[in-house]
Amino acid sequence: MNRPRHMKTGTRLAIFGLFVALVTLTLAGFDQFGVFAAESESAVDAAASTGYGPAPKLTADDYPTIAGVNSRVAVWVFAQLHLWFAAFVLAVPIFVFIIEAIGMRTRDKRYDDMAYEFIKVTITAYSLTAILGGLLIFALILFYPHLITYLSTIFKESMFYYALLFFAESAVLYIYYYGWHWLQGGFKKWVHLTLGLMLNAVGTTLMLLANAWLTFMMSPAGVDAAGVFSGDAWAAIHNFLWNPINIHRFVANIAFGGSIVGAYAAFKFLTATAEKERAHYDWMGYNANFIAICALLPLPFAGYYLAAEIYAYSQQMGITLMGGIFAWLFIIQAVLIGTLFLSANYYLWCGMGRSDGAKRYTKYIKYIAIVLVGAFLVWFTPHTLVLTNEELKSLGGPHHTILGPLGIMPAKNTAVNLMILFTALSFMFYRRANKIATVSWVKAGNAVQVALYSAGIVNIMFLGIYHGYFTNTVYKVAASIPQVLTTLVIMVVSITLDSFIYRGAKEVGPLRWGRIPARAQYALFLLAVSFTWLMGLMGYIRSGIRQHWHVLDIMRDASPDAFTPTLGYAANVVSVAAIIFMAMVIFVFWIAQVGSNKTLPAGYWKE
Amino acid sequence: MKIPRLLQAVLILAGVYFGFIVVFDVLLDAVIPSSLLAMYMFFVTAGVFMVFTYDEDQTRELVAPIKAMVEDPSKRVWRNTVFVIVPLVVGVGTYQQMQPSFQAPVELRTIHPAPPTTAMIYGKRVKLLELENPFRKLEKEDPEQFGELVNEGAVVYIENCQFCHGDKLDGKGPYAAGLNPTPLNFQDVGTIAQLQESYLFWRISTGGPGLPKEAAPWISSMPVWQDFLEEDEIWKVILFLYDYTGHRPRSWEHE
Amino acid sequence: MRQFLAVVAFTLLTIGFFAGYSNFGIPQIEPAPPPKEEKLDLSSMTMDQFIALGERLFNGKGTCTLCHNALGRAPMLGTIADAVPKRLKDPRYTGEAGDIEEYLIESLVEPSVFVVAGFGKKGTNDTESPMPDVSGGSIGLSEAEVAAVVAYLQDSGGAEVTVEIPQDIDEEGDDEEEGEAREAVNDPKKLMAMFTCDACHMINGVGGDVGPNLSKIGANRDRAYLRRAILDPNAEIATGFEADMMPADMGEQIYVKELEVLVDYLAGLK
């Protein structure tokens, strides 16, 4: 009896696939072979005849001062706010799409409701993103007119299409959101899912275009040493750091978006009065945290890739990044990422209280905690220690024989790999908490899991210690790739293996959503706040490593603000921006709720 | 007897704290910097808090004594004592923090700053990357003459350097106690063993004043030795430093 | 509302902790201010920057590496310290330089005064160099730029850098003056009048007596001395006369050709 339904699903799948193919093709053509290729040919001719000028050489007089505003801080704050909102509104549709698809597959309406709620609470954020983007571009035009003129001569086509794409983005978004309840069931649902995919495609394209402009400033391409544009727009877009930034931002956006909606769910959980409501928001918070962790785990690797590419592009920029003043920035970063890992783990542990079977695993939590904290301490031990004079004397110099080696890359790589691995382990325990495996080879399977983890940990430690202490400096970073591979292999193999072990497993009891302490919700807030602040900090370093250049080595920043600020100064700007962002997010969430409030004023209207 | 959870937590924290101090300061004879220990303890505390509070029942057990202390009428004396002692402790701590001391302010200083690509030494502009010890090749070619040069370097060292850097090259010469920052300990694997000979030549010949800003040239008491020694004498002293300590100069060639 | 305030307080505390740690938990290192643009400001340039400027000119605007490269179209310049003293003594040398610095400046603007064997124009038997005058034509290095290139050549060639960084040179102004430059004067008598030498110096009974009598100057002074005396009058003062009397900016007013005419003339007064 199931057969016809399957066939129908197959037909729908085919139509859906067609849509996907169409959208992909359109985008691919647009991006690489279509518009830009055509434009660039004509542009080459144009360059030959009319010619582009070199990048302007500016003096301090070329930067207007307006109403005593510090132009750099203004642009900085607007850019950061715009970026936070953009990251948020790009990330949410990605997992809304996935959740909607899961709902369609499992026919569990809870997923569909959750997906709708996610998109509902972010809808206002779209207009805020656009408003902040407008403010940013105004600030750039007002405060940095020559820079924006120069950039727009190179990126004129992409900037134009970027603006046009906003129409597409808004149109798709509004149909997607307002049509949610209309496009339900059967074929309509597939149309709706396709709209979700299109929304993501347009959103991602927008991000890719904007990324091209900023990576051009870091690794200019398509121009000569004086900044004369060759006319090849694709070369300027497809510059050296474009893809590394694309990947890093894409993954980080998902983690960030997950953490923000997690905070939303946490707040709703805390203020909920009905038991059912608490259960719903607990479940929503869990899913948000799950999304955030899934994206958080590969993020360090994306970061390494980006840093390695920055090194490869310009060794000088790489050294600026990892040494000197920015070396201390990575200590702050370590503190923040450590906070993220700890709070995400804490949330998982608290969540074990939902299941009656968790007691079997809670005894391991303290060991996980010891490893996490230990690895974290290694990770944030700075290379240059701050010593008092007495300590200096007692050590006989600033070099610490024991702690010194913890400050260098092999130790830190080892630590971060262990942190990732043990977070995965926390998650595995959580998944197992409510299940009892029924397959015959449980013991063997568990033994393999233990062996797998042990071997992996030994391998990571060995690589770290061997490369950290026993090889020439030239080889010190060589350990990172095998370590990362070890971590990835363990995670993939153990998750696959576990899904086989627990195939057809019986449940200990029903999961009691809502049975979680309020403290755990604060872990979600901590996750969201730390993520926001961390993004701001890393935005500062990404922009800051250009130092006194608008466009690296091509267009010099001659403004009085060309100096690189201290970390404290940057942290203060980031903090103020983060507070503004948080206030705006609260507004966004509040306005989403207002829509469903009704006041019945007695005796106000004529009867 | 089961130890109350609050006491457990406190004991663990104290154990970790004194553990760090015992291991580093006593067993390893390498003090743990107080700034680092403070941050370590902050995160250890966070970790302990996490482990002790992820479960609702255990959390209740943990905070029960605190709750009782604040709320239970029968614990009035105990409560009032605590409420007097805690502000006092905080007050004393703050006072000691703010009290002016004779300690010089901490100055963050890069000990082995990146050398400039070229430097003016003995009136010549030398490229530090390409500079080599002219006597190093004799180590293989003419060990006897090399030994003599090392001995000559030893004489130069004893006549000029040992007053601060010590006759055992361990940075503990007779004048070392009066200096801040302390003279470099050449025996340490983290010093000359990590550096190329050209780097030593640069540091010895241009001394403290030749340091870049991040290395705080204003607090280094290393003399500008090119004003007092011959070029050859510096190269010989460098031979002696490596010979005596048994270190090898760093080389960027793969071995 | 209570929950809301608690969450706000928690958020502010967290941000406060991060900001506090960044401000007080780690050392605040003030990054070095952006480097000065060397070209705009010669006066604040260190010798290292000046040499670096020379290197950029050598590889860039000066187009030197078109020929002075490993392909062997022109001599390599890495051994100047050894080679120049020999060239100065070489009988084929027709220039007037006394030391490495002068030689280098001379060879940049008058490449043919010494042609390294085998590198001359074809058919001239190494008497004429194929190299252009770098101060003219399409290359057009200014006086300061030539000095920077010389500094770089001395530095990279193993010689002591003796060039001084020119101060207060307004490069654009220089260019304009050269644009409407006067014709070089070939008559030594006219030159003497133009630079009003006779106001102080007497030649064959004509002129003042503030400076030494030049009627027989060629008999006991050589050309190098004369050239230096014109360009740097305070380098050596004739007995009985005071320093700082003769203008020290002759080098900025007189053309190289004119200088040679003048020196020839004076050397011939015996």
Q: What is the pLDDT of residues A66-75, one digit of tens each?
A: 888 888 999 9
The tally of domains found in chain B comes to 2
**Is residue B234 domain-shared with residue B131, that is, in the same domain?**
yes
Residue B144: give its domain's CATH number: 1.10.760.10
Closest in C29, C32, C161 to B125, CB measured? C161
Average pLDDT on A477-497 reads: 83
pLDDT band at B251 (very low <50, low <70, confident <90, very high): low
Q: What percent of chain A has pLDDT over 90?
A: 37
Q: What percent of chain C has pLDDT over 70?
A: 81
Position B108 in a domain:
no
Nearest chain B CA: its distance from C245 CA (Å)? 34
Helices assigned H by DSSP within chain C: 2-20, 47-59, 80-89, 100-109, 143-156, 171-179, 188-194, 217-220, 223-231, 250-253, 256-267
Q: Tell me if B108 and C25 make a contact (CB, 8 A cut-off).
A: no
- Whether residue B198 contacts residue B206, with contact meaning beta carbons closer than 8 Å, is answered with no
Position B65 in a domain:
yes
Q: Of the ranges A209-223, A494-508, C91-105, C171-185, which is most confident?
A: A209-223
3-state secondary structure of B49: helix
CATH 1.10.760.10 maps onto chain C at 188-267
CA dihedral A406, A407, A413, A415 (to 10 degrees): 50
Mean pLDDT of chain B: 85
Position B255 in a domain:
no
**Is residue B92 domain-shared with residue B164, that is, in the same domain?**
no
Q: Is C173 on the interface with A (CB under 8 A)?
A: no
pLDDT band at C260 (very low <50, low <70, confident <90, very high): confident
Per residue in C216-243, pLDDT (tens digit) is: 888 888 888 888 888 888 888 887 777 7
What confidence score (pLDDT) does residue B1 get?
A: 66
- pLDDT of A471 above 70: no
User: What fold characterizes domain C42-179?
Assistant: Cytochrome Bc1 Complex; Chain D, domain 2 (1.10.760)
Average pLDDT on B70-80 reads: 87
How far apart CA C144 and CA C39 sit, in angstroms, is 10
Position B251 in a domain:
no
3-state secondary structure of A506: strand
**Is residue B135 domain-shared with residue B44, that is, in the same domain?**
no
- pLDDT of B188 above 80: no
| End-of-domain residue from the set B70, B98, B126 | B98
Position B252 in a domain:
no
3-state secondary structure of C132: coil
- Whether residue C16 contacts residue A576, with contact meaning beta carbons closer than 8 Å, is answered with no
Question: What residue of B is the nearest CA neighbor of A394?
Answer: B31
Q: What percent of chain A has pLDDT over 70?
A: 88
Per residue in A431-452, pLDDT (tens digit) is: 888 888 888 888 888 898 899 9
What confidence score (pLDDT) does residue C189 get?
A: 82
Spell B9-35 as b/e; 16+ CB within 10 A means b: beebbeebeeebeeebeeeeebbbbeb
Residue whose tokens read 């569990």: A108
Hey, what CATH class is C188-267 in? mainly alpha
Contacts of C12 in chain A (CB under 8 A): 579
Residue whose tokens read 């050590």: A395
Q: Could you say which DSSP state residue C94 is in?
A: -
Per residue in A239-296, pLDDT (tens digit) is: 999 999 999 999 999 999 999 999 999 998 998 888 898 999 999 999 999 999 889 8
Q: Is the model more confident about A495 or about B248? A: A495
Q: Could you say which DSSP state residue A203 is in?
A: H
What confidence score (pLDDT) does residue A43 get?
A: 43
What confidence score (pLDDT) does residue A282 get?
A: 93
**Is residue B153 domain-shared with residue B94, that is, in the same domain?**
no
- Whether residue A502 contacts residue A357, with contact meaning beta carbons closer than 8 Å, is answered with no
Which own/partner contact pairs does C56-63 have at CB distance under 8 Å and 24+ positions apart? C57/C141, C57/C145, C57/C148, C57/C149, C57/C152, C58/C149, C58/C152, C58/C153, C61/C139, C61/C141, C61/C145, C62/C134, C62/C139, C62/C141, C62/C145, C62/C149, C63/C139
pLDDT band at B255 (very low <50, low <70, confident <90, very high): very low
B181: preceding bond cis by omega (within 30 degrees): yes
Q: Tell me if C22 and A547 make a contact (CB, 8 A cut-off).
A: no
Q: What percent of chain B has pLDDT over 90?
A: 25
**Is residue B122 domain-shared with residue B241, that is, in the same domain?**
yes
**Is residue B227 domain-shared with residue B123, that is, in the same domain?**
yes
**Is residue B56 domain-shared with residue B160, that is, in the same domain?**
no
Residues 6+ apart with CB under 8 A from C215: C202, C203, C204, C205, C269
Domain range spanning residue B59?
Answer: 5-98
Average pLDDT on B176-181 reads: 80
ipTM of the prediction? 0.83
Position B180 in a domain:
yes
What confidence score (pLDDT) does residue A475 get?
A: 53
Position B105 in a domain:
no
What confidence score (pLDDT) does residue A266 get?
A: 93
**Is residue B223 domain-shared with residue B140, that is, in the same domain?**
yes
**Is residue B142 domain-shared with residue B84, that is, in the same domain?**
no
Position B104 in a domain:
no
Spell A530-566 as b/e; 16+ CB within 10 A means b: bbbbbbbbbbbbbbbbbbbbbbbebbbbbbebbbbbb
Q: Is A360 on the interface with B (CB under 8 A)?
A: no
What confidence score (pLDDT) does residue B108 get?
A: 67
Q: Tell me if A396 and B182 make a contact (CB, 8 A cut-off).
A: yes
Please report, as a single letter, which amino acid is at residue C111. P
What confidence score (pLDDT) does residue A405 get?
A: 76
- pLDDT of B211 above 50: yes
Q: Tell me if B108 and C29 make a contact (CB, 8 A cut-off).
A: yes
**Is residue B208 domain-shared with residue B135, that is, in the same domain?**
yes
Q: Which of A249, A289, A382 is nearest to A95 (CA)?
A: A289
What confidence score (pLDDT) does residue A225 get?
A: 73
**Is residue B93 domain-shared with residue B140, that is, in the same domain?**
no
Average pLDDT on A167-191 reads: 90
Question: What residue of A is the nearest CA neighbor of C4?
Answer: A267
What confidence score (pLDDT) does residue A247 get?
A: 94
How far apart CA A324 and CA A316 sit, in angstroms, is 12
**Is residue B87 domain-shared with residue B137, that is, in the same domain?**
no
